[in-house]
Amino acid sequence: MDRRGPLADVVARGGAVRRATLFVRDMARSVAFYRGVFGLEIYANRVFNVVPGGAFPAGQAGRAGKGELTILKGRDPLVGMIGLLSYRDPPLTEPPVSERLGRGSVVLVMQVPSAAEAAAKVAGLGGAVVMAPQHGQNTGDLDGNRIPSEVFYARDPDGHFLEVFEAT
């Protein structure tokens, strides 16, 4: 048995994206949002010490403190995880917020069983629907075949932009 894990052959050929990590203000609110809207489950959670002068360029320079990392995952056992990272002692400074996407922006693309049901849950869990569900097409395969879908745009409680679709 290969002890390196099931993705060892993929990584050996060039790597694999395992998760994206989002900075959040309120861990409990963000976990409730991603669990409630997308059905993600907690894979791991840990509180850690923020080390002044560490190599990870977050937090307030020269200040020790506490942070928390929660990793959520969908039903696929290998991919599709989201990390939620909160610095709470001292908290992170607020970045400037823009309603427009551009260089440096991130769009999380999420697939759900029902776009209408997911959109209905967003506001009640602290997010905002930017565009209500409508018929569209999602990026498909390498041959250009697109996936007919119901798609909506939203922002999570911290303003991260979400493209959410249901394959129809």
Q: How confident is the model at residue 29 (pLDDT cuts 50, 70, 90)?
A: very high
Distances (CA, A) of 117 to 126, 132, 164: 15, 11, 11
* Assigned fold of 16-89: 2,3-Dihydroxybiphenyl 1,2-Dioxygenase; domain 1 (3.10.180)
Q: What local confidence, expressed as pLDDT, does residue 1 receive? A: 43
Q: What local confidence, expressed as pLDDT, does residue 54 receive? A: 67
Convert the pLDDT of each residue in 71-110 to its tens digit: 999 887 667 889 999 987 777 777 776 788 887 788 999 9
Q: Which CATH number does the domain 107-167 belong to among 3.90.1150.10, 3.40.30.10, 3.10.180.10, 3.90.105.10? A: 3.10.180.10
Higher pLDDT, 53 or 80: 80
Asked, colleague to colleague, whether 16-89 and 107-167 share their fold, the answer is: yes
Convert the pLDDT of each residue in 2-13 to its tens digit: 555 666 666 566
User: What distance in Å separates the CA atoms of residue 48 and residue 25, rounded to the nearest whole number?
Assistant: 16
Convert the pLDDT of each residue in 122-162 to its tens digit: 999 999 999 999 999 888 778 888 889 999 999 999 999 99
Q: What is the pTM of this model?
A: 0.83
For the chain, the domains span 16-89, 107-167
Higher pLDDT, 117 or 64: 117
User: What distance in Å separates the CA atoms of residue 96 and residue 60, rounded to the nearest whole number?
Assistant: 16
